[in-house]
Chain A
Amino acid sequence: MKRLRLAVQLLFTIVTNGYMYGFLNGKIYRGRLKYACVPGLNCYSCPGAVAACPIGALQALLNRQGFQIPFAALGFFFLFGSLLGRFICGWLCPFGLVQDLLHRIPVFQKKKRLPHHHILKHGKYVVLILLVCVGSMFLFGGFAKVPAFCKYLCPSGTLFGALPLLGADEALRSQAGGLFFWKLGILIGIGLLSVKVFRPFCQYLCPLGAIYGWFNRFSLVQIQWDEGQCVSCHACEKACPAALSLREISRSPECIRCGKCVDACPQKCLHFCGKG
């Protein structure tokens, strides 16, 4: 399962960021695929990105003058969320993959959670409401509204968008100032924290995880627990990188359906199912 998940993560990241011309020339893809969103956090200013970022799309719709319900972005959230829930975070998100790879570096004693996790885990809802929604509707830069999450926090934009573009384009590089270094600092901080703590950005800050977590209870893809076969050995709880209890696995908004519990169960009473 571990190898399969890594293969899927790598493949999905390569396919959704496969516009090689962009990487080579410091340009971004401008085709029709960008009418649609990918399910994971994937900056549309990444030179390789072939589709739009769902959080970026939501902010673009909220950044318009006046207010209209952002139906298109909600449509993608409902569609992806109802089918997959946070399986997207565990298997399809490029920034999740980066954090997973960093967490594999064999230094530091690994931790599943930060201290005060029960408070900090609500950070992603604060980011969703204050930065993505309220910030994008009411925060102005000059006369235009700004995509507050992308501008002030998103480390995916810095890693997949800023670094390749600034590396390839001298003119952009010369414009990099305080804001770029603020975002670079956030990226480095989250990267370093990821070496020690399991997916700190996903657990505490990601607004997309906050949205998909809401769908976890009823999405099509679930991890099913066969209670009759369970011998209560708690191997699944020990294996869970998010430190969830058996009853929280799959249903909790924190579960990213990584499948480590499925692998760990000696009785094979946990398994992925897609029957609803």
Chain B
Amino acid sequence: MSFWQRNKRRVWILGVLAGALFLAAGAFQGQFAVIWKKAVMICLECIGIG
């Protein structure tokens, strides 16, 4: 049985915890504001104009 099979339960929980930790670190560094600022303006590159 592979490492992933044996530790599947632990690994996905670790992944979720890592995700939560990364989100908290992102919030601490103000990265959500960067995402929001980009997301609320029409992205000219995305629509092939910029």
Residues of chain A having any CB pair with chain B under 8 Å: 28-30, 32, 34-35, 37, 43-45, 49, 51-53, 56-57, 60-61, 64, 68-83, 141, 146-147, 150-151, 154, 157-158, 161-162, 165-166, 172, 175-177, 179-184, 215, 217-220, 222, 251, 275-276
B interface, CB within 8 angstroms of A:
4, 7-9, 11-16, 18-27, 29, 31-43, 45-50
A-B contact pairs, 8 of them (CB 8 A): A56-B39, A57-B35, A73-B35, A75-B21, A141-B50, A158-B47, A176-B49, A180-B48
**Alpha-carbon distance A43/B39, docked complex (angstroms):** 9
- Inter-subunit contact B49/A175 (CB<8 Å): yes
Q: A68-B29, A146-B45, A177-B49 in contact; A218/B11 too (CB < 8 A)?
A: yes
Q: Across the interface, which residues of B come within 8 angstroms of A166, CB to CB?
A: 47
Is B20's CB under 8 angstroms from A79's CB? yes
Which residues of A have CB within 8 Å of B38? 44, 52, 56-57, 60
* A187 to B1 Cα, complex, angstroms: 43
Within the complex, the shortest CB–CB distance from B24 to chain A, in Å, comes to 8
Cross-chain contact A61 with B16 (CB below 8 angstroms): no
For the complex formed, measure the closest distance between the CB of A85 and the CB atoms of chain B, giving whole angstroms: 9
Assembly CA distance A221 to B22 (angstroms): 21
From the candidates B4, B18, B29, B50, name the one contacting A78 in the complex (CB within 8 A): B18
Question: Nearest Cβ distance between residue B23 and chain A, in whole angstroms?
Answer: 3
Contact call A179/B46, Cβ cutoff below 8 A? no
B47 and A52 form a contact (CB under 8 A): no
User: What's the count of A-B pairs with C-beta under 8 Å?
Assistant: 177
Report yes or no: B46 in contact with A147, Cβ–Cβ below 8 A.
Answer: yes
A44 to B46, CA, bound (A): 9
CA distance A105 to B1 in the complex (A): 42
- Check if A150 sits within 8 Å of B35, measured CB to CB: no
Instruction: Determine the residue in chain A with the shortest Cβ distance to B25.
Output: A71
Report yes or no: A147 in contact with B43, Cβ–Cβ below 8 A.
Answer: yes
CA distance A73 to B39 in the complex (A): 13
Name which residue of chain A comes closest to B9, CB basis: A276
Q: Please indicate the chain A residues that have their CB under 8 angstroms from the CB of B31 in the complex.
A: 61, 68, 70-73
Per the bound structure, the CA–CA distance linking A235 and B9 in Å amounts to: 29
Q: Which 6 A-B pairs have the closest CB atoms?
A: A72-B26, A82-B15, A78-B19, A75-B23, A79-B19, A75-B22
Extra pairs beyond A37-B35, A71-B25, A183-B48 (15, CB < 8 Å): A28-B41, A28-B42, A44-B38, A45-B47, A56-B46, A60-B38, A61-B31, A141-B50, A146-B50, A162-B46, A165-B47, A172-B49, A179-B50, A180-B47, A218-B4
